[in-house]
């Protein structure tokens, strides 16, 4: 029986860039009070709460973290419960949302050292560590398998970052946006899955992995294909929404191994989506132009759609109709 998990919001402020200590920060966190306070800079272009001149906005969150917070602290609060949810058979997601340069990719994908490892790496390690001897069903014997998929949404295109066949991206020849290497990725399409009425991604690779190392090797392979651009706020800005998913399948045997067959009811499937969204952007601050400017338009539009989905989900029936969700 599927259960709807609540949505929790966490806020993390990254450290200022070197030399940024001269800047008067307009955002402050109160860890104890679990609030973020945004003080207006007097900008009145009408975009976002910080632009309402002379106002302070307090955003309540489940937890807020300042610049000194480590990756492991963030994982303990944000990632670990979701890994445990997936292991117990519940679909779970971690979604990093924020302005470009805010630290989304750092938080989800991480840096290159063990201390800076992001949620993906920690979740993968935890998943395989937690899976040993702990199938979702209370069974005499069970089996556990993991597949991974990795796609990115760029404009209207969903690209399979783990595909073997090649797909020439229309934007590949752009000079301002580049892939990290010359390999091509493959496009997939969104379809209704007649099996259970859910939405499925047709053609998306689901690669079976035996352990954490295999999963991370595929993640690294996909990361190398992500679209990256450069602007004033981030010299290595991911320009597409990246979705790395761990698909779990756990089966329980109805009797000790070798004595009987599998019970078809005893299969539990769950997913853990780890999402690194492309950042919202004020183009006058990022100085974007050309292809990067067009990307910013697409990114901002898709984030607005996400906001509408979130509002539709919170709305009471009938406003929360499937139609309202699908329109987005």
Length of the chain: 328
Does the footprint of ligand ADP cover residue 103 (CB under 6 A)?
yes
- Minimum distance, C-beta of residue 153 to ligand ADP, in the bound complex (Å): 15
Give which of Mg ion, ligand ADP, none residue 103 binds (C-beta under 5 to 8 Å, depending on kind). ligand ADP
Number of residues that bind ligand ADP (CB under 6 A): 14
Tell me whether residue 222 is annotated as binding: no
Longest dimension (CA), the chain: 73
Dihedral (Cα; 326, 199, 250, 114), 10-degree rounding: -70
- Taking CB under 5 A as the criterion, the residue among 105, 121, 250, 302 binding Mg ion is 105
**CA-CA distance, 15 to 34, in Å (whole number)?**
18
Determine if residue 104 is labeled as part of a ligand binding site. Answer: yes
* 220 touches 178 (CB < 8 A): no
**Separation CA 85–CA 36 (nearest Å):** 27
Per CB under 6 A, the list member of 14, 34, 147, 294 interacting with ligand ADP is 14
What are 286's two structure tokens? Answer: 């990022």
Among 238, 250, 270, 280, binds Mg ion (CB under 5 A): 238
Q: Does 105 bind ligand ADP (CB under 6 A)?
A: yes
Q: Name the E strands within 61-120.
A: 63-65, 92-96
Q: How far is the CB of 294 from Mg ion (least distance, A)?
A: 18
Shortest Cβ 211–ligand ADP spacing (Å) = 27
Q: Name the one residue in this structure whose structure tokens are 């991604």.
A: 201
Distance CA 94, CA 184 (A): 27
Residue with the two structure tokens 């200022």: 16
Contact assessment for residue 229 and residue 292, using Cβ atoms and an 8 Å cutoff: yes
Which positions from 235 through 274 interact with ligand ADP, judged by CB under 6 A? 237-238
Binding of residue 302 to ligand ADP (CB under 6 A):
no
Does position 280 interact with Mg ion (CB under 5 A)? The reply is no
Residue with CB nearest ligand ADP? 103
Which residue has the CB atom at the shortest distance from Mg ion? 105
Of 209 and 275, which CB lies nearer to ligand ADP in the complex structure? Answer: 275
Is position 286 annotated in a ligand binding site? no
Nearer residue to Mg ion within complex by CB, 37 or 230: 230
The stretch near ligand ADP (CB under 6 A) out of 162-170, 231-239, 253-261, 305-313 is: 231-239
99 is in an annotated binding site: yes
Q: Map tokens 């480590």 to a residue.
A: 70
CB closer to ligand ADP out of 10 and 106:
106
Closer by beta carbon to ligand ADP, 65 or else 144: 65
Burial class (CB in 10 A: 0-12, 13-18, 19+), 319: exposed
Compute the distance between CA of residue 265 and CA of residue 269 in angstroms, rounded to an integer: 11
Cα–Cα distance measured from residue 29 to residue 58, given in angstroms and rounded to the nearest whole number: 9
Q: Which stretch binds Mg ion (CB under 5 A): 35-43, 99-107, 212-220, 300-308?
A: 99-107
Rounded to a whole number of angstroms, the minimum distance from the CB of residue 264 to Mg ion is 42
Report, in Å, the least distance between residue 106 CB and ligand ADP: 3
Q: How far is CA 87 from CA 246, 268, 270, in A?
A: 11, 10, 8
Rounded to whole angstroms, how far apart are CA atoms 264 and 260?
12
Residues making up the annotated binding site are 98-105
Q: Which residues sit at the interface with Mg ion, rule CB under 5 A?
A: 104-105, 238
Residues making up the annotated binding site for ATP are 98-105
């Amino acid at each position: 029986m599927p259960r709807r998990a609540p949505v929790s919001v966490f806020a993390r402020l990254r450290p200022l860039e070197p030399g940024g200590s001269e800047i008067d920060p307009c955002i402050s966190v109160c860890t104890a009070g679990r609030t973020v306070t945004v003080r207006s800079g007097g900008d009145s272009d009408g975009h976002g709460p910080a632009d309402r001149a002379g106002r302070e906005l307090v955003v309540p969150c489940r937890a807020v973290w300042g610049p000194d917070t480590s990756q492991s602290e963030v994982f303990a609060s944000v990632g670990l419960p979701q890994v445990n949810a997936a292991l117990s058979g519940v679909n779970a997601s971690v979604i990093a949302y924020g302005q470009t340069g805010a630290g989304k990719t750092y938080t989800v994908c991480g840096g290159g050292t063990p201390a800076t490892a992001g949620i993906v790496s920690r979740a993968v390690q935890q998943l395989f560590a937690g899976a040993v001897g702990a199938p979702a069903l209370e069974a005499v014997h069970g089996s556990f398998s993991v597949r991974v998929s990795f796609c990115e949404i760029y404009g209207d295109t969903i690209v399979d970052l783990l595909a073997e066949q090649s797909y020439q991206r229309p934007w590949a020849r752009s000079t301002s946006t580049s892939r990290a290497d010359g390999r091509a990725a493959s496009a997939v399409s969104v379809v209704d899955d007649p099996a259970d009425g859910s939405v499925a991604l047709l053609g998306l690779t689901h690669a079976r992995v035996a352990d954490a190392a295999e999963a991370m090797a595929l993640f690294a392979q996909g990361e190398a294909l992500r679209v990256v651009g450069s602007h004033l706020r981030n010299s290595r800005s991911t320009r597409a929404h990246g979705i790395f998913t761990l698909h779990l399948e756990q089966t329980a045997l109805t009797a000790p191994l070798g004595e009987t067959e599998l019970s078809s009811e005893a299969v539990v499937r769950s997913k853990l989506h780890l999402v690194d969204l492309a950042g919202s952007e004020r183009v006058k601050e990022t100085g974007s132009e050309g292809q990067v400017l067009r990307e910013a338009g697409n990114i901002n539009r898709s984030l607005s759609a996400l906001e509408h989905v979130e509002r539709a989900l919170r709305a009471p029936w009938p406003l929360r109709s499937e139609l309202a969700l699908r329109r987005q």
